[in-house]
Amino acid sequence: MTMTFRVASGAAIVLGAFVALIGMEPGTALAQEITNPGLQNASAALIVPAVIVDQGVLDGTADAPTTPTSLSELVEETAVPAELDRQHECLAGAVYFESKGEPLDGQLAVAQVIMNRAESGRFPETACGVVFQRGQFSFVRGGGFPPINRASRAWREAVAIAAVAMADSWQSSVSNAMFFHAARLTPGWRRDRIARVGNHVFYR
């Protein structure tokens, strides 16, 4: 038998094996030894590795990533990185100190105001610039934050809410707000009131 014939025969065996694999029932595995009686002098049999064929891949019904149906679900699904970049840290810190313990929509509303300010051209252009602008947030002490309990659920939520706001992946109920104050206060602002969300009242 010539070398050319042997190579051609081997290629035919491999092709036949994959044709057989494609014709199998979905969800089954193929792992069998294939030999060619015509190759009397073959020193080893050809082995086709196991392959799992999933029905969803074949018919297009494979599970697709689901879209969160609530802010709570989105927050739960948002990965919290071990280390935050500076802007994420500033925004999460503001959410934590200003609105921890509030409903998630209230926390997102606080984060949204900070992001709106940073994008407005009327305030500093970064989350950190907005948060640490003189006289804007009462929790800022000496240009920084008080200690944060980073093992708490409140911090984990604040970090996730900050990520949601930075990615603009959920619409806040006060999406165009630029100002807020604690609901217990009555500053008498001459601004357009939008709504009260959680423990804050928001204005444009």
pLDDT at 50: 54
Does 64 fall in a domain?
Answer: no
Residue 62: predicted pLDDT: 56
Domain limits for position 174: 71-203
Q: Within 13 Å and on the Cβ side, how many CA atoms surround 15?
A: 6
**β-pairing verdict for 179-182 and 193-197:** unpaired
How many domains are there within the chain? 2
Residue 65 is assigned to a structural domain of this protein: no
The mean of the pLDDT values for the chain is 81
Span 93-147, pLDDT tens digits: 999 999 999 999 999 999 999 999 999 999 999 999 999 999 999 999 999 999 9
Same domain flag for 113 and 178? yes
Q: Are residues 23 and 92 located together in one domain of the fold? A: no
Instruction: Dump pLDDT digits (tens) for 149-193.
Output: 999 999 999 999 999 999 999 999 999 999 999 999 999 999 999
Environment class of 127 (CB within 10 Å of its CB; exposed 0-12, middle 13-18, buried 19+): buried
At residue 176, the pLDDT reads: 94
Do the strands 200-203 and 193-197 form a parallel or antiparallel pair, or are they unpaired? antiparallel
**Same domain as 97, residue 55:** no
Both 27 and 123 in a single domain? no
Cβ-proximal residues to 58 (8 Å cutoff; 6+ apart), any chain: 26
